[in-house]
Amino acid sequence: MEPLEIVRLVLLAGHILGLAAIIGTFFVQMRANDGFATGVVLAGAITQVVTGLALVGVREAADLGVDNIKIAVKAGIAIIVLVAAIIAHVKQRKGGKAKGAFHAAGGLAVVNVLVAVLWQ
């Protein structure tokens, strides 16, 4: 196996773990009104953005094709998820209500999965 392929697979595993952190936390706490695990969602969102951009870089380095429009849409959604996770985390730490931002981050992460899978 080539070194670049190993890097891609490690990044892909990290990307999936970041996704699991966001969506898993979202589904488990969807019906809650407070006490959200915003730190887990924030860590997952950061992981998603970093590994997603790195995955695109690895594909480009390997001269593999990239659908730039799809990547732009997914990156845009991922950044919105990250911003919502930051807002939820900050609000919760200050004692405020994080429910709206928490649900925005989780819901948009689900949308991003659908874009990744259904956009061919």
Answer for the pair 18, 109: CB distance below 8 angstroms, yes or no.
no
Give the pLDDT score at 22. Answer: 98
**pTM to 2 decimals?**
0.94
Give the pLDDT score at 93. Answer: 96
Burial 40-65 (b: 16+ CB within 10 A, else e): bbbbbbebbbbbbebbbebeeeeeee
Give the pLDDT score at 88. Answer: 97
Give the pLDDT score at 69. Answer: 97
CB-based contacts of 109: which residues, under 8 Å, 6+ apart? 19, 22, 23, 26, 44, 45, 48, 81
Give the pLDDT score at 19. Answer: 97
pLDDT 10s digit of each residue in the chain, 120 long? 899 999 999 999 999 999 999 999 999 999 998 899 999 999 999 999 999 999 999 999 998 889 999 999 999 999 999 999 999 999 999 999 999 999 999 999 999 999 999 998
Q: How far apart are CA 91 and CA 74, in angstroms?
A: 26
Two tokens, residue 26: 């979202």
Answer for the pair 106, 23: CB distance below 8 angstroms, yes or no.
yes
Residue 11 three-state SS: helix
